[in-house]
Amino acid sequence: MIPLPLARIAEITSGALSGMADPRAVVRGPVVIDSRAVEPGSLFVAFRGARVDGHDYAAQAIRAGAVAILATRPVEAPAVIVPDAAAALAELAAAQVAALPDATVIGVTGSAGKTTTKDLLARITGRIGPTIAPMGSFNNELGHPLTVLRADAGTRFMVLELAARNLGHIKDLTRIAPPQIGVVLNVGTAHLGVFGGKEAIAKAKGELVEALPRTGVAVLNADDPYVREMASRTDARVTYFGRGEDAAIRAENVVVDVRGRASFTLRTPSGSAHVSLKLYGAHAVENALAAAAAGYELGLPVATIAEELSQATPRSRWRMEVTDRADGVTVINDAYNANPDSMRAAFETFEVLGRGRRRFAVIAALRELGDEGPALNAELGRLAGSAGLAGLIVAGPDAEPVLQGAHAAAQAATTAPGVPHGPVTPVSGPQPVPGPQGPGAPSPVAPPPGAQAPGPQEGAQDVWQAPDAGVPQQPQGGQEPQQAWQPPSGGAGPFGGPLGGGGAHPTRIVHVPDAEAAAAELNRWLRPGDAVLIKGPRAMGLERTAELLLGGAAQ
C-alpha cells in the first residue's frame, strides 16, 4: 500500500486514535484481517465474528509487527477506533485508489469463471505493467478492499473480481475502485435462491457496466443473451467476445484434446493467433476469450495475448486441479464451489478426460437455490446418474433429491431400446465396482484367499445395483431397494452432454456424511488407472476428499 501515517488513516476513516497511538507512526502494509498474516508495518483490522473476535488478538498483532489496530472498541494496543470496521476498510481502499490516478482498474464479474478469468487477465496485464489481483476469490466487501490496499505507487493495473449476493453489492464495490474496463462473463444459476431469478442476477451483474465512464469499455459475452442486453445499460464502448461470428473477439476451430484441454484460433479485428490452453475444460475457452478481449482493448498484440493464454496454468486452488497419482489414478479437484452450470461443465470435462477408464465422482447437494433447489438438485443427480460412472458418492446433508435423480437417470438408461437390463438386485455387503470387460480388462478387486471382504465404511448407506440379468431377489427387511444402474455408452444426458462409456454395467451409488467418509469409501473402490471427479459447494469442504486421496492431511 501507499505508506500512510496513523493520523491520516484516522482522518480517512473518521476514526480516533487510542491506546497511546503515535499519530506519526507510518503503516506501510499489508492491511490484514488475520492476525497470523501480520508483518512488520501492518495494519490489523479487527472484526468480531461468530466464533472469534479479532479484538482479542490485538496484542498478538502488535507483537508480530503491526503498527496499529483498526478496531471498533478500545484494545490494549495502539489503535484507530472507528464505528464500522468494514466501512472504514472500504474508505481506506477508496482513498488509495484516488491516490493512483494512473492505475487502470479492470472489474470482472459473472456467475461462473470469475477467478479463472481474473487470473488469466492479470497474467496478460502483467506483460505491460505492475499488476495486482485478488488472491483466490477475494471478491466481496472485505476481500475487495484488501486487494486494492495491496497497490502501491508503482501499480499500473488492478484486476479485480466482483461478486454479488444481492442487488447493490457490485455497485458498492465499484465505488471503492471505479473501473475503466468491466468484463461480464455470464448470468447463471449461482445464488439463484438469494436473487429469486436470473433476471435479478443479470440486474446485479450489470451494475458493473453501469459504473463505467463514457471513456471506459464494457467487455460482454455475445453468447449469453442476459449479458448481451447489458450493452444498453452503459455509455461506455462495448466489445463482444464469444464463439459466434458477430463477436469481435472469438474462438474458431476449437479442439479439445484427450486431457480436456482446448486449443483454438483466437480471431480479433486486427488478426489471429493460435492458442493452446493448459487449463482443463472446454468452458475455459470463454474465460480465455474474455481475458483476451480486455487485453485487446488495452492495446496488446494478438500474438502476445495468445502466448500468455497458452502459457497460463491454474493460479487459484481447487479449480479443475488435475493430479495423476503414482498408480495412474487421476484426481480432478474442482471443489472450490459449485452451481448447476459449473457442475455441467465439470462433468463434460470429466467425460473427455476419463474416456476409456473407470470413472468415479464425489458430489454434494447444491445450496442457495431457493424454491428451485429440490428440482435443480434432482437434475444434478440425473446428470451424474447418466454420466457412465462406475461409482457415485453423494456427500453431506440434503442429498435425497440428488440420489433420487441419479436413480431415475440410471433406470431410464436401462430401459432404453437395445440396452440389456434385468430386475433390481439389492447389494448386501461389499461388492466389486464394475469395470471394463473383455480381453485385457483388469479383474475386479477381490480379497486374498481366506480374508474377510471389507464391509461398507461407517456412515455409508447401502447401495442397490441392477445386474445385466438374473433372478429377482427380495429386499431385506421389507424395504424397497434404491435402484441404481449404469447407462449405456453413447447418447445424450438430460443436461445435454454426452453419456460416458462403460456399457450396461451397474453404477454404484453411495451416500456418506462428509468429505472424509467420501475419501474412505473411494479408497476401497479405486484401482490403478481410474479417474475421480470431486466437486461440490464450498461449505462441504470436498477439497479434503482430494487431499486425502492424494496422500495429504485434511486442511
Q: Which residues belong to CATH 3.40.1390.10 in the chain?
A: 4-84
Model pLDDT, residue 15:
97
**Of 135, 30, 141, 162, which is closest to residue 85 (Cα–Cα)?**
141
pLDDT by position in tens, the chain (length 555): 999 999 999 999 999 999 999 999 999 989 999 999 999 999 999 999 888 999 999 999 999 999 999 999 999 999 999 999 999 999 999 999 999 999 999 999 998 889 999 999 999 999 999 999 998 667 789 999 999 999 999 999 999 999 988 899 999 999 999 999 999 999 986 556 566 678 999 999 999 999 999 999 999 999 999 999 999 999 999 999 999 999 999 999 999 998 889 999 999 999 999 999 999 888 899 999 999 999 999 999 999 999 999 999 887 777 788 999 999 999 999 988 788 888 998 999 899 988 899 999 999 999 888 888 899 999 999 999 999 899 999 999 999 999 999 988 877 766 655 544 433 333 333 344 444 333 333 333 333 333 333 333 444 544 433 333 222 233 333 333 333 333 333 333 333 333 333 444 578 899 999 999 999 999 999 999 999 999 998 889 999 999 999 986 433
Query: What pLDDT, on the 0 to 100 scale, is given for residue 486?
Result: 35
Strand partners, 266: 251, 273
CA distance 532 to 477: 33
Architecture of domain 100-311: 3-Layer(aba) Sandwich (3.40)
The DSSP secondary-structure symbol of 356 reads T
232: which residues sit within 8 A by CB, 6+ positions away? none
Residues of the chain with CATH 3.90.190.20: 321-427+459-471+481-549
Query: Has 110 been labeled as part of a binding site?
Result: yes
Instruction: Please state, in angstroms and rounded to a whole number, the distance separating the CA atoms of residues 245 and 238.
Output: 16
DSSP codes of every residue in 26-55: EE-S-EESSGGG--TT-EEEP-B-SS-BGG
Asked if residue 551 belongs to a known ligand binding site, the reply is: no
Q: In Å, what is the CA distance from 479 to each residue of 1, 429, 482?
A: 64, 16, 9
115 labelled binding-site residue: yes
E strand intervals along 230-295:
237-242, 249-256, 261-268, 271-280
Rounded to 5°, angle at Cα 153 from 151 and 157: 55
Instruction: Indicate where the chain has its CATH 3.40.1190.10 domain(s).
Output: 100-311
Report the chain's terminal Cα–Cα distance, integer Å. 30
Known binding residue 260? Answer is no
The fold for domain 4-84 equals 3.40.1390
d(CA 70, CA 378): 47
pLDDT at residue 416, as a whole number: 59
Q: Which CATH architecture has domain 321-427+459-471+481-549?
A: Alpha-Beta Complex (3.90)
Convert the pLDDT of each residue in 113-164 to its tens digit: 899 999 999 999 999 999 999 986 677 899 999 999 999 999 999 999 999 8
Asked if residue 138 lies in contact with residue 85, where contact means CB atoms within 8 angstroms, the answer is: no
User: Biggest alpha carbon distance in the chain?
Assistant: 86
Query: Is residue 527 within 8 Å of residue 355, measured between CB atoms?
Result: no
Considering the entire predicted model, what is its pTM? 0.73
114 a known binding residue? yes
Distance in angstroms (rounded) separating the CA atoms of residues 551 and 484: 30
